[in-house]
Structure 1
C-alpha cells in the first residue's frame, strides 16, 4: 500500500479522522474547563503533553505534505483533500490555542522538541526547494559564494533545530 492509496482510503472513510480530529480540541476544551489555572500541575500537564503530541504530529505532517504538494508537485489548492490536508492543521491550531489558554507551553514536558523538529523539517524543505529550483545546471549562474552562504545558513538552522530537539531540560 502506498501513501497515496492510504490517503485515498482515509478520504473514502473519513469517520475515524473526523472523530479523532474533533475529539482532540474537545478534550483540550474539557481539560480547560475542568482544570482552569491548574494546567501546570502534574496530571494536567501530562494530559496536555499527550494532546499536543497526538495532534501536532499529524498536523506537522499535513503542513509538510501541503508544502511538498504545492511547491514540488504543483498541486492546485482546489485539489486539496479536506480530511487529510486541512482538518489536521485546523485541529492542531484549535487544540494548541485551547491548551495555551490554560498553561504556558514552557511548562509542558517535551514541547520544545516539537519546535526543534519543525525547524529541521523546514530546513530540509528549504534545501530540497533550492536544489529543485537550481537543477544543478543553473547553479553556474549563481555566484559560488551565494550558493555556499545559502547552504551554510540552512545548515545552521538545521543544527539549531537539532540542538533544540535533543536538548534535555
Structure 2
C-alpha cells in the first residue's frame, strides 16, 4: 500500500479521521474543565501529554506533507484534501491553544521533544528547498564524508540557534 492508496482509502471513508480530529479539541476542553482547581499537576500533565502527542504527531505530518506538496510537487491549493491536509493542522492548533490556557507547556512531559522534532524537520525542508532552487552543480574533490559532516553541523547549529531564540 502506498501513501496515495492510503489517502484514497481515507478520502472514500473520511468520517473516522474527521471524528478523531474533531474529538481531540473537545477532549482537551473537557479535560481542562475537569482539571480546573485540581492540585495534581503531574497526573493532568500526563493526560495532556497523551492528548498533545495524539494531535501533534498527525498535525506535524500534515504540515510537513503540505510543505512538501506545495513547494516540491507544486500541488495547487485547489487540489488539497481538506480532511487529510488541513483538518489535522487546525485540530492541532486549536487543541494546543486550549491546553495552553490551562497548563504551561513546560509541565507537559516530552513537549520539548516535539518542538525539537519540528525544528529539525523545518531545517531539513528549508535546506532541501534551498538546494532544489539553486540548481547547484559542483565538481569537487571534497570527500562525501565532509559534506555529510557539514550538513549535520548545519542542523546542529540551527537547533542551537532555535533553542536560544525560544
Which runs of 5 or more structure 1 residues have no equivalent in the other structure? 141-150, 164-169
Following TM superposition, by how much is the alpha carbon of 1:136 offset from its aligned partner in structure 2, in angstroms?
2.1
Q: Contact conserved, 1:48 with 1:108, CA < 8 A, in 2?
A: yes
Residue in 1 that maps onto 2:126: 126
Report the CA distance shift for 1:54/1:39 in structure 2 as closer, same or farther (over 3 A): farther
Matches within 5 A, 1:32-51: 32-38=32-38, 41-51=41-51
Which structure 2 segments of 5+ residues have no match? Answer: 140-150
Aligned residues: 152
Residue 28 of structure 1 aligns with which residue?
28
Deviation at 1:37, TM superposition (A): 4.4
Answer yes or no: is 1:157 the counterpart of 2:158.
yes
Question: Hey, what does 1:78 align to over in structure 2?
Answer: 78
- After TM superposition, the score normalised by the length of structure 1 is 0.82
Native 8 Å contact 1:62 1:89 kept in 2: yes
3-state SS of 2:73 partner = coil
Aligned 1:104-119 pairs, distance under 5 A: 104-119=104-119
Corresponding position: 1:55 with 2:44: no
Moved over 3 A (4+): 37-40, 151-155, 158-161
Cα distance change of structure 1 residues 102 and 73 upon mapping to structure 2, 3 Å threshold: same
Q: Secondary structure at the match of 1:21?
A: helix
Q: What residue in structure 1 maps to residue 142 of structure 2?
A: none
The whole-number CA distance in structure 2 between the counterparts of 1:86 and 1:97 is 17
Over the aligned positions, Cα root-mean-square deviation in angstroms equals: 2.3
